[in-house]
Amino acid sequence: MKKVLVADGNTTTASLTRTLARVTFGREAEYVSAASGPEALQAAGRNKLDLIISEFRLAGTDGVETLKQIRARLGTNVPAVFTVTKIEQDYVRKRLPDRAAMIVRPFDRISLEAAIRSVFEAA
């Protein structure tokens, strides 16, 4: 079973993201939630993650920096998908590490599925 971290400070957006991801993974995934960068780091320390779906602007730090810290602490290259605003997309695109993708909010199931597929294919 895949373990997916959904990191988003907005509970409504986090719930929608989990719902859309469930369509992609079906019942073959378990979801862990975090509302901030520090919470995401804690969740990663307690779980063997297969994917991170995170908003870029997490409380406490940005999503890219949080991903780098998770990868460094765990010694793993866990894939990630970042949700960004249209204004953030150029800035985030320049900072994306390997095995990471981004989608612009608002997003739909098809764009989330495509981004998830792309980070798994990059392995």
| 15-29 tens-digit pLDDT | 999 999 998 888 889
Q: Across residues 62-74, what is the average pLDDT?
A: 94
3-state secondary structure of 55: strand
3-state secondary structure of 114: helix
Q: Please tell me what DSSP assigns to residue 109.
A: H
Identify the CA nearest to 4 among candidates 37, 44, 39.
44
Mean pLDDT of all residues in the chain?
Answer: 94
Its CATH class, for the domain covering 2-121, is alpha beta
* Domain segments of the chain as ranges: 2-121
pLDDT score of 1: 87
Tell how strand 80-84 and strand 29-34 pair up.
unpaired
Q: Across residues 58-84, what is the average pLDDT?
A: 94
Before 106, cis peptide (omega within 30)?
yes
pLDDT band at 123 (very low <50, low <70, confident <90, very high): low
- Cβ–Cβ under 8 Å, residues 47 and 19: no
pLDDT score of 101: 97
pLDDT score of 36: 96
More confident residue, 114 or 122: 114
